[in-house]
Structure 1
Amino acid sequence: MTNFGRMGLRPEFVEGVIGFVEYAKTLDPFQRSGMIKYPCNKCQCLNYEKADAVELHIYRNGFKKEDTVWTSHGEIDNNFDVFQHYVPGESSSNVNSNAQSYRIDDMVQDSFGVHSDFDFANQGEEAPNVECKIFFEQLESASRPLYEGSPHSQLSIAVRLLSIKSDWNVPQGAMDSVIDLIHDLVDPNLEIPDNFYKAKRLVSKLGMSSMRIHCCENGCMFYYKDDIDLESCKFCGKCRYEQTSSGKKVPIKAMHYLPLIPRLKRLYASNRSAPHMRWHHEHRRPPGVMCHPSDGEAWKHFDRTYPQFASEPRTIRLGLCSDGFTPHSVSAAPYSC
């Protein structure tokens, strides 16, 4: 169905646009920033704008084709469940790739889209610090559409490539050959990563990288901090390296460490997760009512003991649970601590 009749816009189309804008105004992103992610046929739900501009864009360009469920604005698509949806004959990797695309778009638009035009001073909000500004600049640069109307960006392509390599254990040389083929098939002006190394480096700019730490063969110690230069274990004496035929030293055993602090910072960089990080401070319950650990006496005792720490709503308290976690080498048998 077209959006225009002979005399102009159809009344039912105008009512639909008004209804959509009114609905979007009730959601958290608009309440926080006064801006709406608009699904016009030209912009493909990639940008944020003020309500009147959103109406104008949709009147001119129509709604995004075949997009009748507003998953970008809070509705649930019953035909696609990113956690449980399965189509006979379709591999789970395809479903995971689709779900990953949704998560990438959410992260980019939620982290950068609202902040880009948000007036922190007039809203009484604290402006991003230098580190945060650098993050937003890198995210914005990597998340630009490859071409007008494209649902993909440098960042989404890089993440998909890394995911494919990990899911199917693709050798790096094979991945580089696939990327070369992609470059031969598409417009050479498109900003697609040139090889696996550059894709990995692009994603690492988001600050979510891991560290590879050498370990003792028997699990006695890590070669880390003060012990980083040791050649053998200071407990059992086992050698740290084995020597290859080419004379290169290779660690016998290593682990991958995911730094926690950058991940906590990213939770505050997103408009969607930041309110949950302050929930314990902003949703106090009256005495005698308990719906969160912050309502318990242990939490309140900690607040009284460390009042300076408790006065800042963005302080973080971690509760670690090891139930179901396997601390030893990967095994087919389930193990629980």
Structure 2
Amino acid sequence: MNRSWINSKRTTEEYERGVEQFIEFATRNVIDNNGRFYCPCVNCLNERRLPTAVIREHVLCDGFLKSYTKWTWHGELVEVPIANVSQTETEELDFVMEDGLEQMIRDVGDDAFARSHMYETLCSDAEMPLYWGCIKYTRLSAILKLFNVKAINGWTDKSFTELLELVSDILPEGNTMPTSNYDAKKILCPMGMKYKKIHACPNDCVLYRKEYEKLHQCPHCGLSRYKQKDSDFEDDVRKGVPAKVLWYLPIIPRFKRLFAKVKDAKLIRWHVDERKRDGQIRHPADCSQWQTIDSMFPYFGNDPRNLRLGLATDGMNPYGNLSSRHSSWPVMLVIYNLPPWLCMKRKYVMLSLMVSGPRQPGNDIDVYLSPLFEDLKMLWEEGVDVFDGYTGSTFKLHAMLFCTINDFPTYGNLSGYSTKGHKACPICEEGTCHHQLKHGKKTVYIGHRRFLSVNHPFRKLKKTFIGCQENEIAPTPLSGLEVYERVKDINVVLGKTEKQATTTNIWKKRSIFFDLPYWKMLDVRHCIDVMHVEKNVCDSIIGTLLNIQGKTKDGMKSRLDLVEMGIREQLAPQSHGKRTYLPSSCHTLSKQEKRSFCEFLRGVKVLHGYSSNVKRLVYMKYLKLLGLKSHDFHVLMQQLLPVAIRGILPNNNRYALTRLCFFFNAICSKVFEPAWLDHLENEANVILCDLEMYFPPSFFDIMVHLIVHLVREIRLCGPVFLRWMYLIERYMKILKGYVKNQYHPEASIVERYIAEEAIEFCTEYISEIEVIGVPKTRHNGRIAGKGIQSAKVVTLAQHEVIQAHFYILNNTDIVQPYLSAHKDIVKRDNPRMPEK
């Protein structure tokens, strides 16, 4: 069929006849079209199934896709190109594109096909066999699977090039396998997403964009935009290497690609379609902040596809042990619409910004967040048209920032609150109860009796605490509107230039987050990171119990502060000649007790992957622990410490520490009963008061005080495991592994992230390929292939079977109503039977 009409003008009769021939051809050859098939106009790009009348209108008004000369998506078979084939092997072979690759090319989107040859090249690679006679792999599918293995195992570009050369040499002559990493990446170019490279002032004053785009010097500090050599003159404005760079990966095209995939578009609706609703808290959608947004902004809450995002950022050293000063700052987004087991997985964590080092941005991070916040503001106010692959329709997508995930110093940088000094708690704010130690030179945060109920007996105790009764009540957390009223008039010039005059205001700036119209309506804007709170509290406990130098909170200065405060006079330092003796306190361990504590930890054996090998963390020579990571503190605090201190501490002190361990274990649960949160909140208050009875005031730094506010954030924002830094820091470790060019670490991270993003997108459409970002369980395949004969059969005794049967019944939800009814009957018939 003559197809020269595609290049004709749309107003000619030749073009109109060609359109009618195409409509007739598609109607005749497309099977099970139900009156719909893919529209080949320049806007739809064969991505949407539309009725025949609509396709005719699109093609006549907008134009036919000029590169679409082989109508493979409308029933036309394609002849396979033959490379270096002899005359005797010229028989034709009909090859049909795989369904997965065909769908993938449609879902790539029009942004990647800005140049027409990209689309044509991708189709050609998807139809070209790997070698003559190969019916399993095409050139595109083979490269995608090889790149998937490269990304999973972290191969370098050099090793991948050597592999391609070897594979090309193994395959029959005339194969189409590329022989270098560069040639292979060109095949992936249409699937890759774009990023923007924005120059920045080295002093973090401005980004060279918009009105500053053509400047060569910073308008605030006058520093050059480019790196200058010693031989360059000051007035020389020649272009060169930028002094500092921000990489911005636009989020809107990535959201469009997410919705283009049917599976992911369905998962986005999980919180409405499949979430279990039994009154318990399992997901942020079960919490009051989510529901408040739905009620205040009905147009946003009515569509379950509108996204609620979490923003996470922290500094990382891309050089590892090679440098201790370089600090790069990635900014990542997580999607809370997804099921809780996928929210924080690597596949769905979206890198949006990469701020280059070597210095951290600190309080000036707002300068670098501005491109991202412009897109977020546009997504909230205007929205963007996005095609939903699950429903097959286009809708207006809106998105909002639900909360931020960060450690406590970054909390201050993002919120603009001073997290140091007397008013370091951003929730208590002016009501923060602090005390300045005279000898220890530290600010401590004691006085947690104010958080207890008004009639609690602890409030009347004097000598046990600080010598007076407690009559004050706990401060009320500020709402977003109240915070906005306090910061709206603060004008601070960002940038690391001359130091500005210090003020008494505990709010350092008006955060860029308040540019978002809904931000002041949120109850919790920046979340307290439970991971760092638990780590610091556990580190203080271990350092104090084992009296580790530099980490213990009980020393000469602490005892002098007790004397100064007039409490626990029996612990005052005592002089014996030239030596000063510190009496033993209730938490002081003897050498034998320390040895017992360390020997217990040294004998602990944990499952593979549960934590580090605890045995290697114990240093028996000096009776202390070394090299613990954040997750090791997590396991130690919640599982090992209550057992380790059993029998070596007085009961009162041991009970307080054990209750603290159980409290952390409870708040890390994945399911919460709302009524249970009130009990947990009261438990946290009592535990801190118990600790004030036994531990010195220097123990109560700001991390210990933040325990009071953890339950409140669970009630408002959902389970802790969706808002802590464990998964973010693990992902940053993956980003560090992307650094293969030590001279340009941030650029290396971004380039490899783009490549992995393209591979991750393609793996959804290729069968028998492992997904990178959603790891499979480590237990798969451990028994597979061993056969029945080699399997070990274990016979249980009768009482063991009964115990296992009772355990299963007692922990199955569907059986609980029957067990409760049975207990009531037994209690009625035997009133004297004890509850146990």
Give the TM-score taking structure 2 as reference length: 0.21
**Looking at both structures, which has the greater relative contact order when contacts are Cα pairs under 8 Å and sequence separation is at least 6?**
2
Task: From the CA coordinates, give the structure whose radius of gyration is larger.
Answer: 2
Give the TM-score taking structure 1 as reference length: 0.47
